[in-house]
A and B are shown apart, each in its own frame.
Chain A
Amino acid sequence: MGNTETVLIVGAGPGGMEAARAVADLGKRAILVEAKGEIGGTPYSSYATLTPDLQETEEAMGHIVRGIHQNPAIDLRLNTRVVKSEGEVGAFHVTLESEDSTQTVVEVGSIIVATGFQHFDPGRETQMYGYYEYDDVITLVDAERMFKSGAIVRPSNGEAPERVAFIQCVGSRDRQIGNQYCSKVCCGIASKQSIEIKRMLPNAKVFIFYIDMRMYGFWEDQIYWKAQEEYKVNYVRGIVTEVIRKGDKLLIKGEDTTMGRPMEVLMDMVILSVGMEPSKGVDSHVIEPLEALLFSCCRAAPGRQIFFRGIRPPRLSFARRCAVVVSKDGDHGRR
């Protein structure tokens, strides 16, 4: 007989926190397990502001984080991993291991996997973007750190850049590296950052090189048109294949696919819009009984972005903005 009143949530990023809050609101008990020492996930730790309103991350997420800490129905376990799991829907026996190697077994009726994402490492890109060769090639995450510090500068010399290029779909929509999916948020984040750069450096010229812009939700009006019409950001449909140094500048090479011509343009700074991949935390949790269920869940929704990567085949991708839920009645699906 399992404990159907308790739900285990693995991962305390935005998805896991929201799931825990929802479980608590439904009058159930949530055990929220987080491998790191703090909650909030990648957006809370890495981003200065969030789309689509350019709201400060602390302001947007701070109350959610505090709510988790203060909610008596949420049993938060930091620095903890799932090391063993047995049982079936409605009666899972899950072994948790804390940082000091202490193990505890919890009985839960459902498990929500929300292990989140990590940014793609541009060193694995098939194109030559030079992230590990040139200081002035940075990622969206590096740019957020600069926004947090209050200044956007060329790392090579500390000077304000006059020309900045964003390169979209780095690590996304690329069969060569095995990431066929769209990461969905990078277009919005690049547009957001382009606005922030123009606010900080009104005289800078900012370009966004894209395959096609994928602005989800209401972001098209809130960010995409705003960037172009109010901030004069240049969106160029094209594929950038190389970033190399030319004197003290960066030369980006590729194809302007609107014009159907090769292009070579000098920039002061290049920002790689790195996509998302399963977080390493996915592999660090052992959630074996779930895999068959998760697989059937994904097969039932072909083409939908339900991602999970387990410790053995079938290898699926990871959860983004949603958690995979396995519940007592077998109605496992997306949140």
Chain B
Amino acid sequence: MEPLNLPITGTKVETSKVFERDPETVRDEDLREAIWELGREGEWIVQPVPEPYYLAPTKFGRMKKIPLEHTWHHKSCGQCGHIPGYSTSIFWLNRILGYDYFDPRDQTSCTAWNYYASATSNQAAQAAVAMRNFSAAYETGYYPLIHCGTSFGHYKEVRHELVHDAKLRRQVRAIIEKLGRPFVMPEEIVHYSEWMYAVRDELAARVQYDLSPITATVHPACHYYKLQSGDAIYDPEIYGGQRTAAVTGVVQTLGAQVADYSTWYDCCGFGFRHILVQRDFTRSFATLRKIEVMKQEANPDVVLTHDTGCVTSLDKSQFAAKAHDRQVGVPVMSESQFAALALGAHPFRVCQLHWHSVDYRPLLRKMGIDVDRAWAEFEDDVSKIKTGELDYVTWEHVL
């Protein structure tokens, strides 16, 4: 396909009308005081956000505490299974910034995927899984940082239920006590992309390449901002504070261009039930409603998002549309992978782009990354592992 010469309007709104944020008007109640009050009454232990933290603006003006370090990384099942470079990039960025973190080996899957697919589970079981993970984080002394958008949104809804339903609290507490664990509620529930937003200036100070020629389209993850939207990060500078600033704020700060497109509010196609039982629908929606529209309206070099299911659907659906000669072929990755690349992370050892379906090489070359050399280095690693010269790639290889 020939490159399109499309005007990139960016994230500045065209109107002079200004949305005045007022925490009093938020429709999702601020649960923090209730959480602390239940803590004072002995209902649970409240785990405070560790200092130093960043205060991020939310949609209606409430400031949200985002921990910078001592974070317990609640990974995503689909992320580890399909796009391992996603979480590796987050860890790499933590190490580059010198932030202490913990990568647990005993985390339980949140079960929200099945919940949103109307497939399984019940209220107490789901809440027990959430609280089990929170207690696991608390026992390590690290603060939970949720990688998955769906886990993040789901845990916020579970938190809402637990605050308001004493019977549920008792049920879940009994389960957690049976496990021999403390009953803990974190002060804030925090998504990793909020941490990315919090450290965006620190990241920008370490960027190795000129990203100004790069145009990205952003797919905001539904379960990040459509569930209890008053708790998501919104910045008045980005689309007038009417769309979440997660991802977009980071990408712009890194120096790349963010382009608007008309189906930004649509689902990525994953749909939870659809990816399980109507996968053709997912493929069609992800490519015809999202990728093709982005291509027509913005012709991006890359699609960036902040959730496992979104990266997977948007990336791994494009082969189907390509077979039908549709206008697809845009690489997809998380903003954490993009930021890691921009800061000099190895495309294969760290970002593990070889797990991605769409050709990412044109993007890397446009960023100024020597992709052929990087691939040769990676092949060399593999050869050494095959011969036994190397057991596995370690952090020492990539920092």
Contact = CB atoms under 8 A, between A and B. Distances in A.
B27 A176 contact: yes
14 contacts: A123-B19, A123-B241, A123-B242, A128-B265, A132-B13, A132-B15, A133-B14, A133-B239, A134-B14, A135-B14, A242-B265, A244-B262, A244-B265, A245-B262
A246 B9 CA distance: 12
Interface string A127-140: 01011111100000
A203 interface: no
A156 B14 contact: yes
Interface in B119-133: none
B18 A132 contact: yes
Interface string A177-197: 110000000000000000000
B240 interface: yes
A251 B14 contact: no
A130 B241 CA distance: 11
Interface string A97-135: 000000000000000000000000101101010111111
Contact of B15 (A135, A244, A251): A135
B387 interface: no
B324 interface: no
Interface in A238-274: 242, 244-246, 251
B118 interface: no
Given A132-B18, A134-B15, A135-B15, A246 B27 contact: no
Interface of B: 13-20, 25, 27, 60, 229, 239-242, 260, 262, 264-265
A290 to B, nearest CB: 21
B13 A251 contact: no
Interface residues of A, number: 21
Contacts of B260: 245
A132 B27 contact: no
Contacts of A251: 262
A130 B14 CA distance: 11
A132 B262 contact: no
Contacts of B60: 124
Nearest to A244: B262
A244 B20 CA distance: 21
Given A121-B20, A134-B14, A244-B262, 13 more contacts: A124-B60, A126-B27, A130-B242, A132-B17, A132-B18, A132-B19, A133-B240, A133-B242, A134-B13, A176-B27, A244-B264, A244-B265, A245-B260
B13 A133 contact: yes
Nearest to A139: B17
Contact of A131 (B17, B229, B265): B17
A132 B262 CA distance: 16
Contacts of B16: 135
A153 to B, nearest CB: 15
Contacts of A131: 17
Counting chain A CB atoms within 10 Å of each CB, which of B27, B229, B260 scores highest?
B27
A245 B229 CA distance: 23
Contacts of B15: 132-135, 155
B241 A132 contact: yes
A151 to B, nearest CB: 19
B14 A124 contact: no
Contact of A124 (B18, B25, B240): B25
Nearest to B15: A135
Nearest to A128: B265
Nearest to B239: A133
Contacts of A130: 242
B275 to A, nearest CB: 21
Interface in A118-172: 121, 123-124, 126, 128, 130-135, 155-156
Contacts of B18: 132
A180 B296 CA distance: 40
B25 A132 contact: no
Give the top 7 A-B pairs by smallest Cβ distance, nearest first: A123-B19, A132-B240, A132-B19, A135-B15, A133-B13, A177-B27, A244-B262
Contacts of A176: 27
Which one of A132, A178, A244 has the greatest number of beta carbons of chain B within 10 Å? A132
B27 A124 contact: yes
Contacts of A178: 27
Nearest to A131: B17
Contacts of B17: 131-132, 135
B107 to A, nearest CB: 32
A33 B19 CA distance: 30
A135 B265 CA distance: 19
Contacts of A133: 13-15, 239-240, 242
A176 B265 CA distance: 18
Nearest to B262: A244
A246 B265 CA distance: 14
Nearest to B241: A132
Nearest to B264: A244
Contacts of B241: 123, 132
Nearest to A137: B15
B20 to A, nearest CB: 8
Contacts of B262: 244-246, 251
Nearest to B261: A244
Nearest to A277: B25
Contacts of A242: 265
A128 B18 CA distance: 16
Contacts of A121: 19-20, 25
A70 B323 CA distance: 80
B334 to A, nearest CB: 24
A327 B25 CA distance: 32
A310 B244 CA distance: 33
A132 B18 CA distance: 6
A47 to B, nearest CB: 20
Nearest to B16: A135
A234 to B, nearest CB: 23
Nearest to B230: A124
B104 to A, nearest CB: 35
Contacts of A177: 27
Contacts of B20: 121, 123
Contacts of A155: 15
